[in-house]
Chains A and B, each alone.
Chain A
């Protein structure tokens, strides 16, 4: 039986050292994180007595490259782990199934390696730039790198160095939680009695990317003012710990006057549906996205999850959170009242139905791309996937409706 497995491959400019990686997305499960497992192939004649070293590094970029002056760099690289790959320092290393397969396939010159993400390492996040900005994207990025040298601290030459960008992501827990997030506020007015109270409840605590967020708004007006209109936003909160900066961006919004004005003494219960999507926020500066590798469709950045017992204040890198914000316009004199209800926006965990669907979609995309680039003929296996994808697309359309 032939199983088609996609493998990421990249060679040094001189072609002597080659990386093979089974995947480029590595999942942080909070209690443990997938290690980076792969294989390096190197020609022994080329190596002579030198060694191959590997590094797992994360790059923080918190400012545009074009703005760098006076020798200040708006980026920092942290070498998270270094290891000697060839010759192997630990001959009893346990190989993952992927590594076993690759080593069997690639022969004696293949050397497996494994890197571990340190605890507290941040997730990959990219801050979107305006359309014409050609510089390197801002955010947190991971790179694995291999180079040939005599010792670890030796100068690294471009010709014999290879690096590959990978992603570190977080998935939603299997259990989406029972608690329904809600918030209740009330507002009184100077010079008049009574209050307007506003209660907002979401239908879930954790949403998957592309899902509809339903916010039920209950307004009871016991004041003498009336509510003119209701605005509903989904707000993405981005905290860039590297520069102590934070900002909020609306990623979805709607405004309605339906049911308005809510006159004194009246009540209103209404549910708003909003879908936060990266596609609706193209070219908007500063929108945080899941660290993206060029050829894949991107999501909005997933909410940052922290281990139990820790606060997001301890998190490094870029911390993302979301909330639904409801604003009531109480007229020119009454002003505005607003409330925020936090929720989480995440990738479905592997194994769940949703995950399978989106996986199929991704696979389809990359196959399509390959067909375009390489123009090679698809075998039957891929055709099956293709049909899967078509179905998926229809589902999506239905969902959007």
Chain B
């Protein structure tokens, strides 16, 4: 009995001393970020080298469930930073009052658009695009061309209610066509093979050969080129322009380590973090590192027009676009 309590006391002592010595920074992010193949492990190692802290990533489902998770926990959340929201969610996220302005120096950003949000800090971005095999002989260069193709040319898309790219496509059509969006969706409907829950299922179906094109990012072919030395995938460049996704992180207002959170957000836009992004998250860094982009990225298409609905309008646009989408695809 005596030994037992001694051991218990020892364990207690060590654990408290660990807590006292190394502050813990808890970051909620989407699951694929923390996975062994995502940026998480490298980011954790790089930040812990300099911060004298313990960085703990918590994978909370995918991008869409991340915000729901934080709202569910409210003020009690353990999170100090939430990483992985995008511009479609920032206004809704800010309205919850759970986030505090960051004050990070963003002068080094080179995004295609000017960054104005004061609460959230961007960490990577990409263009949505339809990815196809290079041997596809009738690859469309616009939504209208895609619609005009024979019905057996199939695309796989994601459900906007459960997937970030899915929502991105909704806003893409909305931004490019405005009032004509319902016609575009009615035209697309016969080409849609199926609507999946998330990006992974859709991309998997495409790789299996089930569909000719899949909604993904212009950067997707870079994975195949760099990781698999496979140059057979490319993205179709659309003349309407491509919708952007900008992924952001924000400091949680109730954090008990605000300085550490600020330190992380500053680290996030530095070279150390930004150079990890291209070949782990397969997105563009918000600030191109000194070493430049990895070899292979130069082969990617670079859309002339970047489309993005003002985050302030995104919430309203989202609900309207969803109604249009649902009624076009439910017939």
* A interacts with B: no
